Structure 1
Amino acid sequence: MKRGRQVRAVMTVDVAVVQPGMPVEAAAALLERRDVGGAPVVGEDGRVLGFVTRGDLPKRAGRRLGRWRKSAKAAEVMSTPPVTVGADDDLGRAARLMNARRVHRLPVLAADGTLAGLVSRGDLGRVFLRPDSEIRDEVRDEVLDRELCLDPASLDIAVRDGVVSLTGTVERNSVVPVIPVMLALVGRVDGVVAVKEHLRVGVDARTVLADEPAAGRVLG
């Protein structure tokens, strides 16, 4: 099976950047001029210090300023620590991180920790807006059958909105140690946002788990 596509393949490299000492008004004008919803706050060394969004700038500035009559700086109102992803990370990790942290954009870091680009939900959509049926076919044919030499009919594979659910009973001893590998490979399939497993250990496989109860248990 092909390796998961990397973030660098879809990220934007022409990124609007806000300096930490930039006044909030100037930062808001920059976002408006570039027609973007948010931008990373980057220090002189190229490292990402935080993130500001068009909607949060006036709101946070108002809370910060209160009755004071000075202009707030971007560093005072940015979200920190920033939620970032590596340029060499696979797109599945970026998608899961966006969902878990409920953000729409992620600064992308180069190997040295400096800003390399920005990836948005729209960027990921080019790869991750795949039909669930297409994802299911790849999980069945590429991961289970070709990569792991498992009988696809032994598991029930359901996919909904990119979330893969694997349900079934593991009957062979040799399959139990392979389960973590299987879940990792499924998670790397383009379009997969998350993987859920509901796998039970059958009679023939219980000897692998010393503390396995008689009725079996759900793995994971």
Structure 2
Amino acid sequence: MKRTRRIRSVMTTDVAQVVPGTSFKAVAALLEERGVGGAPVVDKDGRVLGVVSRGDLLERDVEHRGIGPQARRGKHKAEALFAADLMTAPAVTVDVEDDVVRAAQLMEKHRVHRLPVLADDGTLAGIVSRADLVRGYLRSDNDIREEVLDEVLKREMCLDPSTLYVSVYDGVVSLSGVVERYSMIGVIKALISRVDGVVEVREHLRVELDDRKIEPGEPAASGMFPDRSIHRP
């Protein structure tokens, strides 16, 4: 199924990056030239050492007072001449196979706007920004509906899409109709919610068999029950 829920699908691979010995002015010039707010600092093997941002550069313009750790770090950056001393380390990173939800959580927790993305061998593979994470929500309702019908219902659930009513408005998926078992509803909702661009899933499904009531070892074939749809309690 085509999804952009993994970091590898939304990250930028053409990464503006610097080495520890990159000068203050060269860092500033690179960020301005590439139009980015920060860049990973990598060693000769491509491993991420930290991240240097415009905010790190602006420490030079701030008067740092006090004797606490934060004041000392600010003063150190204000006097820094190279990326090794400017950067914030260790860098908060994600892996290429991480879910975008994890990236969003890390950005919120650490109050950062971008995360270096690591390949399987631990080297820099790309970078993901807040803008990358929200880009999926720009998909059209029609594209979302087609993916729900073709990929989720038909391919993943092996259902005939024509047996259910699916509409999408502003990213909100509405689903109604009849499915065979109650246990299918949670699976369908989970799969639809993972489709890129889906904001919410609203279902009004009825079931032929409420399999929540089936005891272990009890026959559960649909042929054992009356052929009629029931409303969920």
Question: Which residue number in structure 1 is paired with residue 183 of structure 2?
Answer: 176
Match of 1:206 in 2: 212
CA distance in 2, matches of 1:201, 1:72: 66
1:147 and 2:146 matched = no
Instruction: Indicate yes or no: 2:40 matched with 1:34.
Output: no
User: Partner residue of 2:18?
Assistant: 18
Tell me the TM-score normalized by structure 2. Answer: 0.58
Change in CA separation of 1:109 and 1:69 when aligned onto 2, cut-off 3 Å: closer
Q: What is the distance in 2 between the residues matched to 1:105 and 1:131?
A: 26
SS in 1 for 2:210: helix
Which residue of 112, 125, 144 maps to 2:121?
112
Q: Match for 1:70 among 73, 79, 100?
A: 79
Structure 1: stretches of 5+ with no match in the other structure: 211-215
- CA shift in 2, pair 1:76/1:194, >3 Å: farther
Q: TM-score, normalised by structure 1?
A: 0.61
Aligned residues between the structures: 202
Aligned twin of 1:213: none
Where does residue 142 of structure 2 map in the other structure? 133
Once residues 19 and 208 of structure 1 are traced to their aligned partners in structure 2, the CA distance between those partners, rounded to angstroms, is 62
Sequence identity of aligned pairs in percent? Answer: 43
Tell me the SS of whatever aligns to 1:82. Answer: coil
User: Would the alpha carbon gap of residues 125 and 69 (structure 1) be closer, same or farther in structure 2, given more than 3 Å must change?
Assistant: closer
How many angstroms apart in 2 are the aligned matches of 1:69 and 1:10?
34
- Please list every run of 5 or more consecutive structure 2 residues that lacks an aligned counterpart in the other structure: 65-72, 217-231
User: Which has the higher Rg, Structure 1 or Structure 2?
Assistant: 2
- 1:18 touches 1:41 (CA, 8 Å); kept in 2? yes
